[in-house]
Structure 1
């Protein structure tokens, strides 16, 4: 069963006209705006306000999707259900991206409701603390608290999946490493979409011109800001330097031209060397976290079928392990 999970996949779908057009729009808008704004605290504040305005625009969700805010636990968030016939005894704990200073569970609903439908279980999307007011350690503390909260509510570790995108992918890997190092029970699997895994002094300019969305210099600037005073090669700061021994199966998804592709690939190779089954998928010419664009990108909708295949293989592996243990 590990052979089914331990695979490299490069989907050969032809690039859709929607993706080609969107890459052009991102290159002409998002990338130059990020280049201008992400230079100081004032610019970050402007970017954050712009994102907040976007959150206030009511999104169009299918009628079968429900969103329920949850403020009862140690960390706020929302429960997202992509249908009525879900297994309520299982859950996905989702960490949204946004470079650790923008976005929220609301901005990532195009991912979370589809992930709920794909995994056939509700998704708890965590509203964790972010910079510049809060540190990486505080974001990680919130993630660990949210996981413990699910355990306290009766969810078995084998019935929990972690998932996240970009900075949320970073938080997913840091959470797994921290859980293992604290001898806490691990979830069944994790899905990382375009994870940001290297916050060290590594420079990404070699791929900077290829990425239609992320400016390399600004990503490097953010990494320096969040790691000021920290050991950049600490695995909880830069998971790419971690020893992944003992972690559950991972799915890592990247785009072939995106800035963070190489560090996602490095995690996949390192985890495999440590004995972790990894499904690594590299999608041709897809932008950073293209799953969030599933309302308009056919490739993004196809990705959720691939996630379904991965989760199915994880479930089959767990069932086989259970039979062997019996």
Structure 2
């Protein structure tokens, strides 16, 4: 399958004992805790503060990785460079996950430094505004401003990749749709890791019990919370309803037991109907946004090889030029 862009992949790697143990631990801790705490704004604020404090602790990164803060804040936006031999004329814009109220660029370094390595370019990890204080509209405005800021710095659209996990995957999809709708030039490709694509009022039933990490009821509650007063079927709110005409090649990665799996499949199908080349990967029994576990779980490290293969296929296909002409 090397060199293919429009393909479904279900990796057949054996499940590692580390992944099995971690699934069990999350099922017994993270899932019930989220079901208990994520029920009102006070619980969201408390969880957010605890995670924010953890994010202030410096996460270990390899010696060849450089972290450069852009605003001086411990959890603010940052440039991540995995090595000195990167192509500085190219960039990857990354949106971290966290259900729109958790985490920061600092918490997602296990992903961003590896993306810098496989994409062979610096990564700009954005500290965008989040709930419960801020809205989805403000998060999208920050993402759009960050993309425009990269263009203003001299990066050509064809030399930009956008990526994100979970809520950051949602923000990636919404940003692409907003760029297209505003007639702006498109990036060369997008990578979505377990994107949260459906914030409508459809109750999640698939993998409700199988997901080791996410409580379907809490995901539904958060969707209602963030979409209050909005049209939840607006593609910028629920990208699963979007028209993907004119968008660049995308890679969508999900776990087979995730509660978000089916909406990720629907995005892939919707994009393909619009003529977009989509690499859809469904990893057996992997938890939500498992790439962040790369320091622990071998499957999470393997996924970066697959991302590298996808980006090489994009470069070989000449897709950036096609994307630019489609957006013109």
Q: TM-score, normalised by structure 1?
A: 0.95
Q: Which residue of 2 aligns with 1:244?
A: 244
Structure 2 distance, partners of 1:182, 1:126, is: 21
Q: Which residue of 1 aligns with 2:308?
A: 308
Structure 2 distance, partners of 1:168, 1:48, is: 16
Q: Which residue of 2 aligns with 1:107?
A: 107
User: Number of aligned pairs?
Assistant: 320
Q: Which residue of 1 aligns with 2:201?
A: 201
What secondary structure, in the 3-state scheme, does the structure 2 residue paired with 1:208 have?
A: coil
* Cα root mean square deviation, aligned: 1.7
Structure 2 distance, partners of 1:166, 1:17, is: 24
Structure 2 distance, partners of 1:320, 1:46, is: 43
Determine if contact 2:79/2:122 at 8 Å carries over to the other structure. yes
Determine if contact 1:2/1:277 at 8 Å carries over to the other structure. no
Q: Which residue of 2 aligns with 1:289?
A: 289
Cα offset for 1:273?
0.5
Deviations along 1:248-275, one digit per CA (max 9) or x if unpaired, are 0000000000110000000001100000
Structure 1 distance, partners of 2:119, 2:268, is: 22
What secondary structure, in the 3-state scheme, does the structure 1 residue paired with 2:93 have?
A: strand
Query: Structure 1 252/319 Cα, relative in aligned 2: closer, same or farther at 3 Å?
Result: closer
Q: Which residue of 2 aligns with 1:25?
A: 25
**1:92 correspondence with 2:81:** no
Structure 1 distance, partners of 2:228, 2:201, is: 11
Q: Which residue of 2 aligns with 1:63?
A: 63
Regions of 4+ moved over 2 Å = 319-322
What secondary structure, in the 3-state scheme, does the structure 2 residue paired with 1:207 have?
A: coil
Q: TM-score, normalised by structure 2?
A: 0.95
- The gaps in structure 1 that reach 5 residues or longer are none
Structure 2 distance, partners of 1:28, 1:168, is: 26
Structure 1 distance, partners of 2:172, 2:220, is: 20
Q: Which residue of 1 aligns with 2:223?
A: 223
Determine if contact 2:255/2:287 at 8 Å carries over to the other structure. yes
Cα offset for 1:57?
2.9
What secondary structure, in the 3-state scheme, does the structure 1 residue paired with 2:106 have?
A: coil
Structure 1 distance, partners of 2:303, 2:176, is: 23
What secondary structure, in the 3-state scheme, does the structure 1 residue paired with 2:33 have?
A: helix
Q: Which residue of 2 aligns with 1:190?
A: 190
Cα offset for 1:58?
2.6
What secondary structure, in the 3-state scheme, does the structure 1 residue paired with 2:286 have?
A: coil
Structure 2 distance, partners of 1:129, 1:56, is: 17
